[in-house]
Amino acid sequence: MTSTDSIRVISHWIDGAERPSSSGRTAPVFNPATGAVQAEVALADQAEIDAAIGSAQRGFEVWSGYSIAKRQAVVFAFRELLNARKTELAAIITAEHGKVISDAMGEIARGQEVVELACGFPALIKGAYSENVSTGIDVYSLKQPLGVVGVISPFNFPAMVPMWFFAIALAAGNAVVLKPSEKDPSAALWLAALWSEAGLPDGAFTVLQGDKEAVDGLLHSPVVQSISFVGSTPIAQYIYETAAKTGKRVQALGGAKNHMLVLPDADLDLVADQAVNAGYGAAGERCMAISVVLAVEPVADELIGKIAERIAKLRIGNGADAVEPDLGPLITGAHRDKVASYVDIAEADGATIVVDGRGCRVEGHEDGFFFGPTLLDHVPTTSRAYTEEIFGPVLSVVRIASFADGVELINSGQFGNGTAIFTNDGGAARRFQNEIQVGMIGINVPIPVPVAYHSFGGWKASLFGDAKAYGTHGFDFFTREKAITARWIDPATRGHSSHTGINLGFPQHD
């Protein structure tokens, strides 16, 4: 990171070191808790995009030639360095994103799960061998890396989401170009330096800072073989369509509107606790956050009361404070205003505001981008506050008459990322998991993010492309399979072959 007039300029990581930008374009990086500009981030031009991709191509040629044992040693070394120094990374995340330190540590831990999965990659990229499939003929398969792969990550998880992709991509022998969010770009540089320290060759992990120009540079480059993305649905769809036109593999994870269906037999204290955790954690800036509680009557009034009681006890503040608050600010002032606009819309459409987070101020941080936990009741399902992703600490309650009504509402939505049911009825839970058209389902679990050896991804407008993130899907995505059919003449019969001569028919097993 360079410095100009006391303002840091966060730049690229190319050829194994930070490279100052010459594009002349930058964007502000805020401290969300204070509202102050704490740095500027470089926005790459085409020359820098080309330099980053060229560096990655050279890095791939070296890294892919490493033996499996040597690659595995580097991945293990990265895991050990990350584990020893993750508090440094958490502080960087909190300073630029705003989430509290414990939440940042949780993000790192979930990303580290994928790194640990990647440490065992030799068992997940090995091929198969079938002997004598036809007389004297063997068939076997190889899994090889794609080459240079692009990762475009969101602001809400500046460490975890990149780790979902780059750990597996690198383990499989690819080189990675990471384009982090320009809103919180420093975590990417910290991770790049850690890979270098772990022994990754220069260029194999490259960080390209930038905006849409950098994104489009990756999408259109003939060198980049795949794109992995997490973000909003409109951008996910754009990335999928654009990259697919150039023949790239794409896994583009989009937005969500996650529902929690509460049946009358549920433990309402458990439901209230989990609704608060899942609705307001990370100030609601999670694609797996619970946005809507579908309350099967007659439980709504009691449940709303319990949730409101818990909201009243939440502490809002700077995530870096010595006494940690429960939730911090939103990422920018513009995003705070957008979240507030959805509460305005809900109110205009007839919703009841039970707890209003608009106008939230934190003493000593009056210019910070804070928005208080908000609870809405009687939200019309026709309102944009119900149908669109808000991405803030706003929890809506929709009162319904039956289990079937809840399933119908969830299945009729455009998104299919995550959902949950709270009940003590095993039959209802089993029916729910079978009928619901959503990719990740929780049963008395509000945020059903799969562990690393399963795969993460939704349905419908929440996922574009066939491959989910990490797990077996990740290893399949970042490798290409070759099938080899081979015949070797037995030395004892060489020169005395018993082949049947020319046959122009399609090969058959005789």
- Tell which residue, 62, 65, 44, 270, has the closest CA to residue 152: 44
- In DSSP terms, 327 is beta-bridged to 316
Q: What is the pLDDT of residue 3?
A: 47
Q: What is the pLDDT of residue 365?
A: 95
Q: What is the pLDDT of residue 495?
A: 66
The per-residue pLDDT for range 294-339, each reduced to its tens digit, is 999 999 999 999 999 999 999 999 999 999 999 999 999 999 999 9
**How far, in Å, CA of 202 to CA of 199, rounded?**
9
Q: What is the pLDDT of residue 498?
A: 61
Contacts of 155 (CB under 8 A, 6+ apart): 97, 181, 183, 184, 285, 331
All domains in the chain, ordered by first residue: 2-254+462-482 (3.40.605.10), 258-452 (3.40.309.10)
The answer to whether the CB of 185 falls within 8 A of the CB of 264 is no
DSSP 362: -
Contacts of 61 (CB under 8 A, 6+ apart): none
Residue 443 host element (H or E): strand 440-443
- Tell which residue, 240, 289, 247, 236, has the closest CA to residue 396: 289
CA 121 to chain centre: 20
The answer to whether the CB of 239 falls within 8 A of the CB of 226 is no
The region that residue 14 occupies, defined by phi over 0 for left and psi between -120 and 50 for alpha, beta otherwise, is: beta
Q: What count of residues does the chain have? A: 510
Residue holding tokens 């120009």?
213
**How far, in Å, CA of 453 to CA of 442, rounded?**
17
Percent of the chain that is helix, strand, coil (3-state, to 5): 40, 25, 40
How is residue 258 written in tokens?
Answer: 């996650």
**How far, in Å, CA of 388 to CA of 414, rounded?**
9
119 is catalytic: no
Q: Is 267 helix (H, G, I), strand (E, B) or coil?
A: coil
- Tell which residue, 174, 179, 169, 185, has the closest CA to residue 215: 179
Q: What is the pLDDT of residue 510?
A: 63
Residue holding tokens 């293990």?
76
DSSP 17: E
Residue 184 host element (H or E): none
Q: What is the pLDDT of residue 446?
A: 96
CA-angle at 449, arms to 293 and 335, nearest 5°: 65
Strand order in the sheet with 7-10: 2-4, 7-10, 36-42, 26-31
Task: Dump strand ranges (E) for 153-282.
Answer: 175-179, 205-207, 224-230, 249-253, 258-262
- What amino acid occupies position 36? A
What predicted TM-score, i.e. pTM, was given to this entire model?
Answer: 0.95
Extract the residue ranges of the chain whose pLDDT is less than 50: 3-4
Residue holding tokens 């208080």?
372
Q: Choose the catalytic residue: 151, 287, 320, 330.
A: 287
Contacts of 159 (CB under 8 A, 6+ apart): 89, 93, 104, 107, 108, 111, 187, 191
C-alpha distance from residue 420 to each of 104, 267, 423, 431, 478 (Å): 24, 14, 10, 13, 30
| Rg over CA atoms, the chain | 26
